[in-house]
Each structure stands twice: as C-alpha cells, then as structure tokens.
Structure 1
Amino acid sequence: AFGGLLMTGGAIGDRYGRKGALLGGLLVFGLGALLGGLADSAEVILVARGAMGVAAAFVMPATLSLLIEIFPPAERPTAIAVWSGFAGGGAAIGPALTGLFVTGWWFVPSWGWEAGFLYNVPVVAAVMIAVVLWLPRSRDEHPRHLDPAGAALSIVAMTALIYGIIEGPEQGWTSAPVLSAFAVAVIFGAVLLRWQQRARHPMLPLELFGDRRFSIGSAVVTMTFVVMIGFWFLFALYVQFVLGYSALEAGLATMPEALSSMVVAPFTAPLAARYGSRRIMAVGFAVLALTFLPLALVDTDTSYWFLLGPLVLAGAGLSLAMTPATNDIMVATPYDKAGIGSAVNDTARELGAALGIATLGALSTSIYRGTVDVAHLPPEVASPAAESMGAAIEAAYQLSRSGTLGEAAAQATITETGQAFTTAFAQTMAISGAVSALAAIALLVGHLTQARRGSLV
C-alpha cells in the first residue's frame, strides 16, 4: 500500500495542499494504529496495517515537500539533511521502541503486542497539533489537473513490482504469482511511461530524469537502501539467532547506528556545498564499504564491542550517501512538483528496501544452505536445519519440550546452524562491501569525467 501510493500521495499534496495531505495522512495513520491496537483478529490487523501504509504514502512526500516551502534556498540543504538523518535513524529507532513497549525493559513495563500499535496514537496526536499550530499552508499556486490515469497505472505497476520482489524469495522467483506480478509490473510500467509522454498534465514529468542530479540522486538513494536494509535485516537475525539477543536487545543494539546517522546528517550539507554532492556520496559509499569489512570477520562469539564501530560507521555512511542524493532530487524538481520529487525519493527508498531484503536475503540463504552440514544432526531436525536457522531453532525447541530431542542434540543443532548462519552473514557483508566500494568508484569516476568535460568546454 505504501510503495504503490507514494506517487499519488505526492501529486495530491501538490494539487490540493501539502499541509492538508500531511494532516489527513496523520489522522488516518493514527486511526489505523488505534484499530490495530484494539483488533481481535488477524484480518482486522491486516486492515489496520493497510490503512497505515496508505496514510504513510501521503505523510512522507508532504513532509519533505513542506521543507521546500518553509525554508529559503540557502537553508534548504541543511533542512533536507536533518530530515534525511531522522528518516534514516527512524528505521532503526522504530523497531527498538516497538520492542520496548511490547516486551518491557528495566523501568518500562510490558504492555503486550497491542502497544506496538497504540503508542503511535499519542505521538500522532502531538504531531498533528504541532502541524496545525506551526506549519504554513503549502500548495502549487497554479495547480494543474490531476492525472487519474497516471495515478492508477503507477499504483498497479509499483504495487506489482514491490510484491514480486518481496515474495520472490519466499514463493520462488519462477513461481506463478511472482512471475505474474513482474509481468503486470512490466506491462503497466510500459503503459505508464507511454502515457506520461503523451498526457497534457503528466503526474511524473519524465524530463525530470534528464537532469543528472535527479536521476543519479534517485539511483543513489535506491542503492543505499539496498545495502542498508539488507544489513539491518541480516544483522538483526545474526544477533538474535547466533549471539542470543532478544528482539528488544537486537533493536537497542542498532541505536548507535541511528544516532550516528542523525548526528552526521547536518554536516553533509556544507560538505556537499564545498566539495560537490557526488564526491560526498562517493565518500558515503566508501564509509559503508569500511562498515562491512569488519562484519565479514564475525564469528559465533563476537563481542558487541566489536560490532559497535561498524554500527557507527554505518550511520555515518548512510547520511553521507543518502542526504546529498535527496537534496539533489529536490533541487532538480520544480517547486510546483515538490510533492512528486519527494515521492520519487521515497519510492526509491522503498524499492531499495525491497530489493535489499530480497537479494541479500536470498544470497545469505543460499550461502547458508550450501554451508550447513546436517549429515550428523538428528533426523528430526535435519530437514528444518537444511532450510534455515530459524526453522532449526523452532524445531529443536519444540522437540526438546516434548522430550523427543535430548539437550545435547538440540545444542548440536544450534551450534551447527549458528556457524553456518554466521558464515552466510559474513560472506554477504563482504559482498555488500564490494558493492558499496564499486558504487563509490562509479560516483567518483562519473564526477571526474563530468569535471573534465566541463573544463574542456
């Protein structure tokens, strides 16, 4: 729902008012969270989550496009940098807060799974009050007609694409549902491009991608989230499955990365202004490459203190790469299309996240299955262990409780699968580091090539 509606949400905000889109999105998000917290069935929870996704598709584009209205040009890069830092850090803080309220910790009592929804309600209420009191109205002063056909085509194309990417590792890349989703995405995507070329008032003017700042910025945001979401996903599994962290402890373990991202982000604006955004993006990917290097050396008993350095570097690299890219996207976008520019930025993040989980998740699973040795494991757990460490742990736990599997056999299962998962995690991080290094080199070479051409003109 979120990824498929981003373009539409941004366009509606531009046409009818970004403040109104933000308030409406927040209201629906809060109501969805309330519904989820009071739900008594899985179906109601799914409806609540869907409503929250739809609402977020209006909130996210509006927040970034409102910055263009509020801040003068000289201050916008810093404002966008702060926005990017909090957006990146929020991806780590959100799960940690949810785990804190759901499971409890120290002086915070456990409120149950409902708290994962309900704590959003007072937060949304407070934000809505602040928006009403302090944010100005913002909309295109010369609004164009909406593009309903373009909106419908983009919703179908993006929803199908993201669905196929997410479900590919689970159902199989050659399964009928996944292939059908990709076919729908290709067909509707092609029709969308053709329509945007011919429409009198296109939702997404394709000439925006002719600006290198816009196209390269979008590509960098996507690639940043490919490696970072893959890292967050696998890191959480590693510290829980192998190091024995609880879900809450795993969320709290990533807090240094979130704090680093928020601290570094404001400094990227003056750095980009002085050295050029593409250089800073290249430095960001170089820092991410350095992040993944030590993670390629982890073992089954690695200390958290060893992981702390890479976590801090990850936050810094995220802000250095993503913040100038987001600023380039918004600078290249005309004011009257600020919501669409913001939506493209958010869509790039969402697409990168889906690709990161799908590709790096599938890669680590493949390495795990090729590494784990189940020949000497008890037959009751051999089959689950061959699939994944999570399945092996669940099977060993259930069989141990029933008395079917002895403690020694259960421990042997966890030891073998833990070593295989660690190998998979380490090798996947090494590949992520190589990809990040290649991205840094490509950006730097592109910058030098463009500078050389400019000097020859």
Structure 2
Amino acid sequence: MSISAPVAPSTPKTARQAVILAVCCAAVVMANVDTTAVNVALPAIGHSLGGSLAGAQWVVAAYTLTLACLLTFAGSLADRIGRRTVFQIGLSLFAVSSLACSLAPSVGWLIGFRVLQAVGGSMLNPVAMAIITSVFTEPGRRVRAIGIWGGSVGIGMAAGPVVGGLLVETVGWEAVFWINVPIAVAALALTVLVVPQSRAERPRAFDPVGQLLVIGLLGLLVFAIIEGPHRGWLALETLGSFAGSALCLAALLWHAPRHPQPLIELRVFRSAPFTGAFVIAIFGFAAMGGFLFLNTFYLQEIRHDSPLTAGLALLPMAAAMFVFGPMSGRLVAERGARSALTAGAIVATAAAAVLTVTFDGSGKVLLLLGYGLFGAGIGLLYTPITATAVAGLPPAQAGVAASLATTSRQVGQSLGVALIGSLIASHPGALASAASFRAPAHLGWLTITALCVAALVVARISTTTIVIHRRR
C-alpha cells in the first residue's frame, strides 16, 4: 500500500498571500527609501537647480507635510471606494510624479512634483496595512505579516542614505527619483493580478471642512517657520501665516465636535497616553527630521564628503533604527511602553547632547558613534508610540489612534526640517565655511537635544498609568 503525502489545500492561498505581502512591503520600502535618499541628494539638487536653503527645506517638507495632511483621508477613501483601487492610484501617481521630479527644471517645479508624489505616497502606507489586515484573516499569520511589513519600514530607512548617495555620486540626483519608477510599475502590475478588492463595512464619512482646516493649520505654520528668516519674522506674510495657522486650529477645535465623523477625532485626546504618544511622536520625529537635514549639509557642504561618503556616514543612524525598532517591540511586551519610551528618549538625548559639543571635531569615529546612538534612541521610540497611543482607548478607536500616531510622525519631521533649516538660514553665509557653520550648527544640535528632552518629559508624565506587562 502506497501512501502519498497530502498536499495542504491552503498552499495556493499562502503563496498568494506572500505575493500580496511582498507588494505591500515593496511600496513601503520605496516610500521610505525616497524620504532618506532625497535628504542625501539635497546639496546636489541645490547646485544643479540653483536652489536656496529654503528651497531645500521645501523639497523635504512638501513631501512630509502633504503626507501628514492626507494619510487619514486616504485611509477613509480606500475604505469607501476600494483599497485595491486606491492602492493602484497611489502607485501610479507615485511613479508618474517621481519621473516628473527627475525632469524638474527648477526647485519650484520640483517642490510641486514632490507634493504630487506625497499625494500618491499617502495612498500607500495606510492602505497597504488595510490590505494586509483584510487578506491575512488568521490571527497568527496576520501578526507575522504585520511584523514583516513593519520591518520593511526599517529596511527603507537603512537603505535610503546609501542608495541615495550611490545614485547621486554615480548617476546624478535625478536617479534618486528614477529608482521609484520600476518598483512602482512592478508593484502596480502585481496588484492588478493578485490583490483582491476590499472595502470597510462601515466607511467613515468624509470631512472636507476638517481636511481644509488641517491643511491650513500645518501648511501655514511650516510656511511661517521656513520663510521667516528670509522674509523677516515681523513681515506681514510671516505674522499672517502664524495667525492663520492659529485661526485654523481654533476653527478645527470648533468644527470637529459638531461633525458626526470628523477627520480629527478629538475624543481620543481625552486619553492621557494617546495625547502623550502624539506629542512624543512630534518631538521625537522633529528631532530626527532636523538631524537628517542638519547633517546632510554638514557632511557635504562643510566636511566636503562625497554623496556616497555622506550616505555611509548616516548609515549607523538608519541601521540602528532598523535594529532597535523591533527590539523596542519586545521591550514593550516585557516591560511596558513607558520603559521603551523612556529608554529611547534618554539614549537620543544623550547622543544629541554629546554631538552638540563634538560634531565638529577632527575625528569621525565619535561622530559615527553618536549617529548610531541617536538612531537607536529614535528606533526605540517608534513602536511604543503606537502602543501607547492605543492604550486605554476602546478597540473601536484603536484604528483612529494608530492613524493619528502615524500622522504625528510626519508632522514632526516637517517641523524639524523647518525649524533646523531656519536656524541655519538665520545666519547668513552659514554654509560658506566651517567657522560660519559652527554657531548655527551648535544651536541646531541644542534644539535637537531640547526636543529629545521634551519627549522624555512627556513620556514620564503621560505614561504613568500604563500597566507594565511582564513575561512569566
């Protein structure tokens, strides 16, 4: 009697799930490689297109700011008209706008194309997560899939500086955008073939007024910070932008409680852990955004490193984020979110404080060590921010909390680039020599240190009620 080995009936389904997961991860890696790679390319872009320091700030901030404004809307749109449809639109727009970025004739055009690129990018991360959740229905497989998807964020961050530096040095800054096109096209083709259509049973209602107010609040605030040193802090445009941002905030606070399903659900801010996580994310990722911007110009314009050498110098920071991000998840499981947040903020603060007084030394070993420690600190903050955001909230509000936590990271990066760039711009000729750069760079590092200290203080205050879970 012969016995044939049974074939698991779920094999085709498992293979299909693996391809879908690969597509979602590819989209995330592409978006995150683009963010860090473009930072390394900023000096080359400025030299090629004749842009100013403010132009370089806008090249980065236009992308992160648009993401911050549209992430929640993109998720709601996907729940209503179909996740595969919105994911396809996002991939198509990201590919076309990336190609347009590489062909931009001026910094102004590049900034406009970066906005379009971010519109496409806003349809990738939250929608990819929703696709994974709908495809992986078994709890165990879903957890593993989400873990792999989350790890791809770290891969993108770690690969970005080196990939960007290599492309800029060997081909040109345009190649930083070219690389997105084949990845997006391949992911789009696979999406058509394997990703099923899915929608939410009860999609959230649209809130166009809330959306416009959020855009006004963040857009005017970042505009005032970036343009303040150039137009004058007391200029009508600057003061008017600050005032307009404050008015948008007041209007949003009035509007949101009166909308049945507002874009920004203010009720979640009644939770101290959520509010704390939201603020920590802004402080922590403002520090990271400012770090990348400051050191990109320091390495290439002051130390005169090549783009590839600068990318390799930033690799310890990105690699540490990749390693310590998953580690923070285990720390949260064993000791609670408060321990992970505290450890991350302390490590980042210590690194920033040391770099404040050592960044311009002759040696590079201490500089790279500081970069690695700073990345480790930010990596330790990444996972517990989301864990803390959903702590103490009803399960029905967990999705909203996670979405807002992701948005706060983008807000933080936008503000960090705006703030640190403005400190440099406030010192005319800062990029002309090491001596001229020293004062604004010290102020920049002190600001980054202060942001990390603020994150630590908020973590200790807002997470006192979080229960620490230990393995037995």
Q: Does 308-317 or 327-336 show the bigger shift? A: 327-336
The aligned runs of 1:4-83 (5 Å cut-off) are 4-39=69-104, 45-66=110-131, 68-69=133-134, 70=136
Q: Is residue 325–residue 380 contact of structure 2 (8 Å, CA) maintained in 1? A: yes
Corresponding residue for residue 103 of structure 1? 169
The reply on whether 1:213 has 2:279 as its aligned counterpart is no
Q: Deviations over 1:275-307 (max 9, x none)?
A: 111221111000101212331232645322222
Q: Does 1:436 align with 2:452?
A: yes
Deviations, residues 69-108 of structure 1 (Å, cap 9, x unaligned): 447677878766665665466456435423422321xxxx
Alignment partners' CA distance in 2, 1:117 and 1:67 = 27
Q: Deviations over 1:223-257 (max 9, x none)?
A: 11111111221122222233221233222311121
Output aligned runs, 1:32-431, within 5 Å: 32-39=97-104, 45-66=110-131, 68-69=133-134, 70=136, 86-87=152-153, 90-91=156-157, 93-104=159-170, 110=171, 112-132=172-192, 135=195, 137-298=197-358, 300-329=360-389, 340-363=400-423, 369=427, 387-390=428-431, 392=432, 414=433, 418-426=434-442, 428-431=444-447
Change (3 A) 1:142 1:435: closer
Note the alpha carbon deviations across 1:33-53, whole angstroms, 9 max, x for none. 123334556665454323212
1:222 is aligned with what amino acid?
A: I
Distance verdict in 2 for CA 1:437–1:253, change over 3 Å: same
Distance, in Å, in 2 between the alignment partners of 1:60 and 1:230 is 23
Residue 310 of structure 1 and its aligned partner are, at CA, apart by: 1.4
Following superposition, the deviation at residue 13 of structure 1 comes to 2.4
TM-score of the superposition, structure 1-length normalised? 0.76
Aligned equivalents of 2:273 and 2:455: distance in 1?
A: 16
Change (3 A) 1:331 1:14: farther
Larger deviation: 422-431 or 350-359? 422-431
Distance 1:139 1:339 in 2: 15
Question: Is contact 1:86–1:261 with CA below 8 Å preserved after alignment?
Answer: no
CA distance in 1, matches of 2:97, 2:180: 10
Q: Which moved more, 1:270-279 or 1:89-98?
A: 89-98
Deviation at 1:315, TM superposition (A): 1.8
Report if aligned partners of 1:364, 1:425 keep a CA contact under 8 Å in 2. Answer: yes
**Is 80-89 or 283-292 further displaced after alignment?**
80-89
Quickly say closer, same or farther: Cα 1:82–1:333, change in 2 above 3 A. Answer: farther
Q: Cα deviation per residue 1:133-187 (whole Å; 9 max; x = unaligned)?
A: 5655443212243223323333333332333333334433322222222222222
Task: Measure how far apart 1:4 and its partner are.
Answer: 3.2
Q: Distance in 1 between matches of 2:80 and 2:394?
A: 14
Specify whether residues 126 and 333 from structure 1 end up closer, same or farther in structure 2 by C-alpha distance, changes over 3 A only. farther
Return 5+ residue gaps in structure 2 as ranges: 1-65
What's the CA shift for 1:322? 2.1
3-state SS in 2 of match to 1:296:
helix
Distance 1:421 1:25, change over 3 A: same
**Secondary structure, in 3 states, of the residue corresponding to 1:27?**
helix
Query: What is the Cα-based RMSD across aligned positions, in Å?
Result: 3.3
Where does the alignment leave 5 or more consecutive residues of structure 1 unmatched?
105-109, 370-386, 393-413, 453-457
